[in-house]
Amino acid sequence: MGLTGLDIFKQLPKTNCKECGQPTCLAFAMQIAAGKAGLDQCPHVSDAAKEALESASAPPVALVKIGTGDKEIQLGNETVLFRHDKRFEHPTAITISVCDTDDNIAGKVQEINKLVFDRVGMTFSVNMVAVCNCSGDADKFAAAVKTAQENTEYPLALMTEDVAAMEKALEIAGAKKPLIYAATAANYEAMTELAKKYECPLAVKGADLNELAELSEKVTALGWKQLILDSGAREVNKVLADQTQIRRQAINKRFRPFGYPTITFVTNDDPVQAVLDASVYIAKYAAIVVLNTADPADILPLITLRLNIYTDPQKPIAVEAKLYEVGEPGPDAPVFITTNFSLTYFCVAGDVEAARIPAYILPVDTDGTSVLTAWAAGKLTPESIYELMQKTGIEEKVNHKKLILPGGVAVLSGKLNEISGWEVLVGPRESAGIPSFLKQRWS
Amino acid sequence: MIIIGERINGMFKDIKEAVLNKDPEPIKEWAIKQEQAGAHYLDINTGPTVSKDEQPAVMEWLVTTAQSVSKLPVCIDSTNPIAIEAGLKVAKGKSMINSTTAEQAKMDIYMPMAAKYNAAIIGLAMNEKGVPKTADDRAALAMELVVNADMNGIPMTDLFIDPLALPCNVAQEHAPEVMAALRQIKMLASPAPMTTLGLSNVSQRCTNRPLINRTFMVMCMACGLDSAIVDANDDDLIDAAAAANILLNKDIYCDSYLKTFRQR
């Protein structure tokens, strides 16, 4: 939503001098809100007011980029509090940290590189490696950053509040636009200088939300606006509250100091609790979540949750159109036809499983629409079914020529029989009827 | 959609007689009937037969009588600020003031009163010059109401702007302007001010008034109408409001949406 008349009016000088051509400041504000006048027509408006009005028309959460090339991360540009209102735009960057006191930094970084997973036919991975200056030693930190950079393509987060250590690390890694973590009340002037010099995104860390807002304003006043916010909270309940406030204030109140993506840290030593904490942060607005585990069993559930939360609710979710096996089907197993709408597919798969008879399922590519929707739109046709049967080579897998069609599209059975030569059994209208259907009709 | 039941108004004969005879029964009866029909507010108006001096006492009596049998909040409807304040003093729940215009002298009385009693307030998009013709002029007056409410610390969610519907048989060109004004009012502030209409006015002395009322209400809801002062016992009208709420994706659909709407 653009600026409202009230927002604009509050910034005007309220002189009612008529020099803008309008009878009152209020009328002028209405004209601007309607796009019929420009702010420059008022000779008395202050620079601060101009700045406030211009920044208010910017997106509520700024877009911030970390890294370069293929592995560059984009964060921010979010516009909603709930994904069902529109969608979440940029998935949380999952970041694994390594300490500069670690004996085998190269080895740990290579473990992180391996955190790549296959989900629904696509690959997903972690996004960033954070190098922490646990030693407090600038040279040791620089060496660790060097090792990390040589061993991974992922962007780095350089984590130290020591300006001298950061400077050394940036001499090595600065060209690849790492995240500088973090500017605090004590060091923000020097850290901002470094961020400007290397043109790197800068994390701003406050002791609480109030200090964070102050600090964010001070850094932007110094002329740097590629920011990532850290409210300092580490307990999960406090992080949840702070994340919610930051996103709410940015979007609902256009509070500029909070108009940036956020970073969160998982600090729990118990791996189960750590994954649960990270799940909360992924669901609740965190742009970056930093963990210190590289165990694939910890990361896979988070990658999956992130994929699910950041899917577009307005687009149907589809499964791949290929041959699926339930159990270990033999040559005499039944073959079910359905569509590749994930909701439809998983209903059918679940009910076939419940029947405890191994089977094949063929979900036709209907652009992720349901059986009746696809049928009405001409996407579930005898031709499209036969095409998938040929593509998947189902004829070679089974020793019979029988298909089971959803009961809702019984009308397709004749034509399908004609073009495929297979016997078409009309199954139940609801997949919940599959177990009893198999008992009565398949044996 | 917030339904403000219009029936406890001295303009109606039974209410007028009840006021004259100090008979609480018709007041109670209509309070209960309107609540059961799905109203969210009870409009309370002493009517023109009560003299100015008596209005505060009568208002006080009407409000307490109605709220003795109904848990609904009241919409205190008077042109007399003393009567309104008398009603606010005894009213339970979140009251509504009906109404101020965009005339500065009136806003200076009613806006602080709304703030003091934490009441919602209806602001009519008109001033001493009368009802504006165009949507733009209505929106300009609405803006005056928005700014004055803001200065008095009244949240936008408590300001109900009424763009003023006129009878469609004699002022037909106003209806589309009202709808355009509703859209503009929703853009004036963030969060947006609320909107309302004295709906029955649109069909004064017309044929098949209920049809005109509910059709106009649904059209206005599509333009951002949040509430209306209506005949809450017009079942077809309440059905239309419930259906429109569904189609605007404001209530989650269920098969019993007509019943659900009336229960909230």
Give the C-alpha separation, A180 to A176, whole Å: 12
Q: Contacts of residue A34 in chain B, CB cutoff 8 Å?
A: 184
Place of tokens 């954070």: A130
Nearest in space to B163 (alpha carbons), one of B125, B137, B132: B125
Secondary structure of B55-103 in HEC code, one letter for each residue? HHHHHHHHHHHHHHHCCCCEEEECCCHHHHHHHHHHCCCCCEEEEEECC
Express each pLDDT in B33-51 by its tens digit. Answer: 999 999 999 999 999 889 9
Q: Which residue of A has its CA nearest to B156?
A: A6
| A5/B188 touch (CB, cutoff 8 Å), yes or no | yes
State yes or no: pLDDT of A121 exceeds 80.
Answer: no
| pLDDT level of residue A34 (50, 70, 90 thresholds) | confident
Place of tokens 């051509």: A21
What is the predicted pLDDT for the residue at A316?
82
State yes or no: pLDDT of A1 exceeds 70.
Answer: no
User: Between the CA of residue A398 and those of A359, A393, A422, B25, what are the distances in Å?
Assistant: 10, 10, 12, 81
Which of B104, B145, B185, B187 is best to mutate for the A interface (most A CBs within 10 A)? B187
For β-strands A73-75 and A64-66, DSSP reports them as antiparallel
Q: Contacts of residue A82 in chain B, CB cutoff 8 Å?
A: none
Query: Which of A4, A10, A27 lies closest to B188 in CB terms?
Result: A4
Query: Which of A1, A5, A10 lies closest to B143 in CB terms?
Result: A5
Judge whether A433 and A427 are in contact, CB under 8 Å: yes
Sheet holding B74-77, edge to edge: B194-195, B159-162, B120-124, B96-101, B74-77, B41-45, B2-9, B227-230
Burial of A43 (0-12, 13-18, 19+ CB in 10 A): exposed
| B188/A26 touch (CB, cutoff 8 Å), yes or no | no
What is the predicted pLDDT for the residue at B24?
97
Q: Contacts of residue A35 in chain B, CB cutoff 8 Å?
A: none
Judge whether A261 and A237 are in contact, CB under 8 Å: no
Which of A1, A3, A6 is best to mutate for the B interface (most B CBs within 10 A)? A6
Token pair in block for residue A43: 């000779």
| Three-state secondary-structure class, residue A258 | helix
| B140/A30 touch (CB, cutoff 8 Å), yes or no | yes
The more confidently predicted of residues B174 and A34 is B174
Q: Say which residues have a Cβ less than 8 Å from residue A300's Cβ, sequence separation at least 6.
A: A117
State yes or no: pLDDT of A21 exceeds 90.
Answer: no
Enter the ipTM.
0.75
What is the predicted pLDDT for the residue at A288?
98
| B188/A27 touch (CB, cutoff 8 Å), yes or no | no
Give the C-alpha separation, B15 to B147, whole Å: 37
Neighbour count for residue B21 (Cβ, 10 Å): 10
State yes or no: pLDDT of A45 exceeds 90.
Answer: no
In chain B, which residues touch A (CB < 8 A)? 139-140, 143-144, 146-147, 150, 184, 187-192
For β-strands A73-75 and A423-426, DSSP reports them as unpaired
Express each pLDDT in B6-40 by its tens digit. Answer: 999 999 999 999 999 999 999 999 999 999 999 99
Rounded mean pLDDT, B129-146: 93
Nearest in space to A90 (alpha carbons), one of A104, A80, A99, A102: A80
Q: Contacts of residue A4 in chain B, CB cutoff 8 Å?
A: 187-190, 192
Which of B129, B143, B151 is best to mutate for the A interface (most A CBs within 10 A)? B143
| Nearest CA distance, A254 vs chain B (angstrom) | 10
Give the C-alpha separation, B217 to B241, whole Å: 8
| Nearest CA distance, B145 vs chain A (angstrom) | 11
| A7/B146 touch (CB, cutoff 8 Å), yes or no | no
Exposure string (b/e) for B170-193, b if CB count within 10 Å is 16 or more?
ebeebbebbbbbbebbbbbbbebb
| B188/A1 touch (CB, cutoff 8 Å), yes or no | no
Q: What percent of chain A stands above pLDDT 70?
A: 98
What are the φ and ψ backbone dihedral angles of A157, each rounded to 5 degrees? -115, 125
Give the C-alpha separation, A283 to A308, whole Å: 10
Which helix H or strand E contains B259, and what residues bound it? helix B257-262
What are the φ and ψ backbone dihedral angles of B140, each rounded to 5 degrees? -65, -40
How many interface pairs between A and B have CB atoms less than 8 angstroms apart?
A: 36
Give the C-alpha separation, A90 to A63, whole Å: 9
What is the predicted pLDDT for the residue at A120?
64
pTM of the model: 0.78
What beta strand segments (E) does A190-330 contain? Answer: 202-205, 227-230, 263-265, 288-291, 324-326
| A5/B146 touch (CB, cutoff 8 Å), yes or no | yes
Q: Which residue of B has its CA nearest to A7?
A: B189
| A6/B190 touch (CB, cutoff 8 Å), yes or no | yes
Give the C-alpha separation, B38 to B241, whole Å: 11
| A4/B147 touch (CB, cutoff 8 Å), yes or no | no
The more confidently predicted of residues A254 and B228 is B228
State yes or no: pLDDT of B163 exceeds 60.
Answer: yes
Tell me the helix, strand and coil percentages in chain B, rounded to 5. 50, 15, 35
What is the predicted pLDDT for the residue at A2?
65
Give the C-alpha separation, A97 to B201, whole Å: 68
Which of B156, B190, B250 is best to mutate for the A interface (most A CBs within 10 A)? B190
State yes or no: pLDDT of A191 exceeds 60.
Answer: yes
Query: Which of B140, B150, B190 lies closest to A1 in CB terms?
Result: B190
Express each pLDDT in A345-396 by its tens digit. Answer: 999 999 999 999 999 999 999 999 999 999 999 999 999 999 999 999 999 9
Place of tokens 């004064």: B204
Give the C-alpha separation, A344 to A370, whole Å: 6
* Residue A146: half-sphere exposure toward Cβ, Cα within 13 Å: 10
Which of A1, A3, A4, A12 is best to mutate for the B interface (most B CBs within 10 A)? A4
| A5/B140 touch (CB, cutoff 8 Å), yes or no | no
The alpha carbon torsion through A369, A372, A377, A379 (nearest 10 deg) reads 60
Q: Contacts of residue A11 in chain B, CB cutoff 8 Å?
A: none
State yes or no: pLDDT of A55 exceeds 80.
Answer: no
Express each pLDDT in B62-92 by its tens digit. Answer: 999 999 999 999 999 999 999 999 999 999 9
| pLDDT level of residue A31 (50, 70, 90 thresholds) | confident
| A5/B144 touch (CB, cutoff 8 Å), yes or no | no
Average pLDDT over chain B reads 96
Nearest in space to A81 (alpha carbons), one of A283, A227, A383: A283
- The one-letter amino acid code at B261 reads F
| Three-state secondary-structure class, residue A229 | strand
Q: Say which residues have a Cβ less than 8 Å from residue B247's Cβ, sequence separation at least 6.
A: none
Q: Say which residues have a Cβ less than 8 Å from residue A159's Cβ, sequence separation at least 6.
A: A97, A130, A131, A132, A133, A181, A182
